């Protein structure tokens, strides 16, 4: 879904059918029963355009029952639809900015043969909906279903706020509970916290960037590295912020639909920021993002230059923007875009300088190896693309290196026609980055020619995958 992350969201109508109170015996718990009845109009207009998995709820009646901190979703229409009966427990999450939400995580291991799982039900004060997050293991997409009706939202929130058996988590503990990792721990399906080859192989909802030095998207002129860094940090610590407060530092349109967005800069702080944003009903936008830091090291000693580069996954998340309130709210604390085919490198050494040694080091998902490429061309050739003139050198294990011919003359003799190694590139062979502090990096040694200085271009490329 980075690529595969087309999602359709379905507004459904929530109607309370009864409030049942158990007599006040010792240890008796209050029971609240609600019926979720999707309307034919909303189902037809919203769900049938993307039938899997949310059309499974069409014409069905789901009942949410809460006893103390425990909840259960059940299907009251058993005429062959085989909808999941899912249960779990609520936690009270108290964020640093004073917000309190109630998050109920399902502990059911498997929903049904169609691989539909209810992941979480969220009740937040001051909003007009109760939110269900559903994960479909068949197409590896997350669906966010808003169950609208303010009066029912308030009634449920008041009940949860007064229920003494619900545990309270604060600060970092609250954020940790509100994350993909927390959901993974509650489910046997480890793919909840990763993307399989099937999801990355899909051809929709994807975008790629191949960005040499100093490229910057003109569509994101307000963007700054500090802005995106501070916005992600505020969401991770506070859970919710006013998006307009960051308007001078980030491109706020990145969070207001429109599909794929991207900006990067190699001037000053070197970074890339990508997002996928789509509407979820008439007033909400869902956005999945990734922020990447790029670091370079450039030292010289006598007749050699030592150049290294690292692409570091700074962080990612899924957030919801409400255009009526201007609030951008955290939905998943650690579910950023997956960055596939991640490649970094440099090219175009001048003045007959040549690459004589390289070393690759990675910490990425699904791979412990990198593909190494040599950029072989004549020094008279103009290099405008960092990834031009590449020839495959081989597949290396992490921390493995290569030593090349040590002089300009020796390389000309090997490659012919005046060609030499004017740069290198590495690719995270079949793996991807989607978690904070994962990285791909290289170090290299450049041999100068007769002491003459040299210049080059460096850059990166990756494909981003979304699963919202």
190 phi and psi angles, rounded to 5 deg:
-65, -15
Last residue of a domain, which of 198, 218, 249? 198
Per-residue confidence (pLDDT) for residue 350, from 0 to 100: 94
Q: Which helix (H) or strand (E) holds 408?
A: helix 408-415
∠ CA 368-208-372 to the nearest 5 degrees?
Answer: 35
Asked if residues 75 and 61 have their Cβ atoms less than 8 Å apart, the reply is: yes
3-state secondary structure of 204: coil
The answer to whether residue 2 is domain-embedded is: no
The answer to whether residue 6 is domain-embedded is: no
Write out residues in the chain with pLDDT < 70, as ranges: 1-63, 74-85, 107-118, 126-129, 135-140, 146-153, 180-222
Euclidean distance between CA atoms 118 and 102, whole angstroms: 16
The answer to whether residue 1 is domain-embedded is: no
Euclidean distance between CA atoms 29 and 125, whole angstroms: 23
- Domain of residue 377: give its range: 207-465
State whether 189 and 238 are in the same domain: no
52 phi and psi angles, rounded to 5 deg:
-110, 130
State whether 183 and 259 are in the same domain: no
State whether 285 and 346 are in the same domain: yes
The answer to whether residue 5 is domain-embedded is: no
Alpha helix (H) residue ranges in 239-376: none
State whether 219 and 185 are in the same domain: no
State whether 168 and 295 are in the same domain: no
- The DSSP secondary-structure symbol of 180 reads H
Q: CB within 8 A of 407, min separation 6: which ones? A: 354, 447
State whether 368 and 227 are in the same domain: yes
∠ CA 284-289-292 to the nearest 5 degrees?
Answer: 160
Per-residue confidence (pLDDT) for residue 182, from 0 to 100: 60
Per-residue confidence (pLDDT) for residue 243, from 0 to 100: 96
The answer to whether residue 293 is domain-embedded is: yes
Per-residue confidence (pLDDT) for residue 152, from 0 to 100: 61
State whether 184 and 246 are in the same domain: no
Euclidean distance between CA atoms 118 and 136, whole angstroms: 9
Last residue of a domain, which of 198, 221, 253? 198
State whether 360 and 329 are in the same domain: yes
Euclidean distance between CA atoms 43 and 22, whole angstroms: 35
State whether 49 and 165 are in the same domain: yes
Q: CB within 8 A of 173, min separation 6: which ones? A: none
147 phi and psi angles, rounded to 5 deg:
-100, 95
Per-residue confidence (pLDDT) for residue 45, from 0 to 100: 26
State whether 233 and 122 are in the same domain: no
The answer to whether residue 411 is domain-embedded is: yes
Per-residue confidence (pLDDT) for residue 16, from 0 to 100: 27
State whether 412 and 431 are in the same domain: yes
Last residue of a domain, which of 139, 168, 198? 198
Per-residue confidence (pLDDT) for residue 246, from 0 to 100: 95
Domain count, the chain: 2
The dihedral sign for the CA sequence 315, 205, 251, 458? positive
The answer to whether residue 4 is domain-embedded is: no
The answer to whether residue 398 is domain-embedded is: yes
Euclidean distance between CA atoms 391 and 422, whole angstroms: 11
State whether 269 and 151 are in the same domain: no
Asked if residues 292 and 318 have their Cβ atoms less than 8 Å apart, the reply is: no
């Amino acid at each position: 879904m980075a690529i595969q992350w087309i999602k359709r969201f379905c507004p459904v109508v929530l109607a309370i059918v009864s409030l049942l109170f158990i007599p006040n015996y010792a240890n008796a718990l209050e029971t609240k029963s609600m019926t979720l009845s999707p309307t034919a109009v909303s189902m037809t207009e919203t769900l049938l355009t993307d039938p899997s998995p949310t059309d499974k709820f069409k014409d069905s009646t789901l009942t949410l029952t809460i006893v103390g901190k425990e909840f259960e979703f059940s299907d009251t229409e058993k005429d062959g639809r085989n909808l999941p009966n899912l249960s779990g427990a609520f936690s009270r999450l108290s964020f640093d900015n004073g917000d309190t939400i109630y998050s109920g995580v399902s502990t059911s291991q498997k929903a049904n043969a169609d691989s539909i799982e209810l992941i979480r039900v969220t009740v937040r004060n001051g909003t007009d909906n109760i939110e269900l997050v559903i994960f479909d293991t068949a197409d590896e997409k997350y669906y966010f279903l808003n169950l609208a009706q303010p009066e029912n939202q308030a009634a449920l929130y008041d009940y949860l706020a007064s229920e003494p058996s619900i545990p309270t988590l604060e600060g970092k503990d609250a954020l940790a509970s509100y994350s993909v990792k927390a959901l993974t721990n509650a489910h046997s399906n480890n793919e909840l916290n990763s993307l399989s080859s099937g999801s990355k192989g899909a051809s929709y909802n994807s975008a790629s960037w191949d960005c040499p030095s100093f490229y910057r998207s003109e569509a994101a002129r307000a963007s700054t590295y500090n802005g995106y860094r501070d916005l992600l940090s505020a969401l991770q610590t506070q859970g919710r912020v006013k998006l307009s407060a960051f308007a001078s530092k980030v491109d706020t349109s990145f969070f207001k639909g429109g599909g794929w967005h991207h900006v990067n800069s190699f001037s000053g702080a070197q970074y890339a920021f990508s997002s996928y944003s789509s509407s979820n009903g008439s007033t909400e936008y869902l956005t999945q993002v990734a922020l990447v830091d790029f670091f370079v090291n450039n030292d010289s000693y006598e007749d050699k230059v030592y150049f290294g580069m690292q692409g570091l996954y700074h962080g990612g998340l899924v957030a919801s923007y409400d255009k009526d309130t201007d609030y951008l709210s955290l939905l998943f604390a650690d579910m950023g875009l997956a960055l596939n085919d991640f490649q970094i490198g440099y090219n175009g050494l001048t003045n007959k300088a040549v690459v004589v040694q390289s070393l690759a080091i990675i910490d990425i998902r699904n791979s412990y190896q990198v593909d190494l490429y040599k950029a072989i061309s004549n020094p008279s050739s103009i290099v405008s693309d960092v990834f031009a003139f590449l020839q495959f050198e081989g597949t290396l294990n992490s921390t493995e290196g290569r030593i090349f011919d040590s002089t300009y003359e020796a390389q000309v003799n090997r490659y012919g026609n005046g060609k030499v190694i004017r740069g290198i590139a590495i690719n995270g062979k079949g793996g991807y980055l989607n978690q904070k502090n994962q990285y791909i990096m290289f170090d290299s040694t450049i041999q100068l020619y007769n002491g003459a200085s040299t210049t080059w271009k460096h850059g990166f490329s990756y494909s981003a995958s979304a699963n919202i």
